[in-house]
Amino acid sequence: MGAVPLNARDAHGPLTVRSASARDFAAVWALLMGLAVYERRRRQVEATPARLRRHGLGRRPYFRALICRRGRTPVGVAIYLMTYSTFAGRPTLYIEDIFVLPRERGQGAGQVLMREMARIAVRSGCGRMAWSVLRWNTPAIRFYRRLGAETVKAWVSMGLKPAAIKRLAASDEVRARRRRPRRAGRARSSAQA
């Protein structure tokens, strides 16, 4: 990681990308707040710089962060973690968040962040990189497609919020799926069997 050469049209200084250190987490948090505003989710944010630092650099880090700077100014951030594909039998680099300041978009910061994560994925033996993007974020979708990303239409994102997690964790009962009675005269296909 280090200085990344850019086009001659960029006269604002070189872009650098590196792993975030403890002193970077105020900037990481500020950039993530920019993402929250862009995604219209600022009121949902509970993270603090201290919590991010603890979870990103603690004894057992839950994620890794890359910070992109133009000169000394933070202009972009990427949060990623490793998951595992049981079918491929290889790790997956999952991108939780990537954000570049609006004034820096189209100037190379997003590409150097994605390139650095691709290099990490290659070094780690990953079978793929994966992330989600909001359906209305067409500029990001176009950017990812230019990098070679494909839309995965077969999958639907699912999740539990804190109240549902607690309810499920406290539950003792097992709910059996209700079976619908079969109509007379209809045979089950092999796909249903």
- Burial of 56: CB neighbours in 10 Å, binned 0-12, 13-18, 19+: buried
Tell me, yes or no, whether 69 lies in a domain. yes
pLDDT at 136: 93
Q: Say what the alpha-carbon torsion angle 148, 149, 151, 157 is, to the nearest 10 degrees.
A: 180
Tell me, yes or no, whether 193 lies in a domain. no
Q: Which helix (H) or strand (E) holds 170?
A: helix 162-170
Distance CA 111, CA 15 (A): 11
Tell me, yes or no, whether 183 lies in a domain. no
What's the N-to-C CA distance of the chain in angstroms?
Answer: 53
Let me know: does 46 contact 32? Beta carbons within 8 Å: no
Q: For the chain, list residues with pLDDT below 50.
A: 2-11, 188-193
Tell me, yes or no, whether 140 lies in a domain. yes
| Structural domain boundaries, residue 162 | 2-170
CB under 8 Å to 59, separation ≥6 — which residues?
A: none
pLDDT at 24: 95
Tell me, yes or no, whether 190 lies in a domain. no
Tell me, yes or no, whether 58 lies in a domain. yes
Our count of domains for the chain comes to 1
pLDDT at 13: 85
DSSP assignments along 56-122, one per residue: HHSSS-S-EEEEEEETTEEEEEEEEEEEEETTTTEEEEEEEEEEE-GGGTTTTHHHHHHHHHHHHHH
Structure confidence by residue, pLDDT tens digits, 7-60 = 323 446 899 999 999 999 999 999 999 999 999 999 999 999 999 999 999 899
Tell me, yes or no, whether 63 lies in a domain. yes
Distance CA 56, CA 50 (A): 10
Question: Could you tell me the CATH number of the domain that includes residue 70?
Answer: 3.40.630.30
Let me know: does 17 contact 116? Beta carbons within 8 Å: yes
Whole-prediction pTM value?
0.82
Query: If we measure between CA atoms, which residue out of 150, 137, 1 comes closest to residue 64?
Result: 1
CA 42 to chain centre: 17
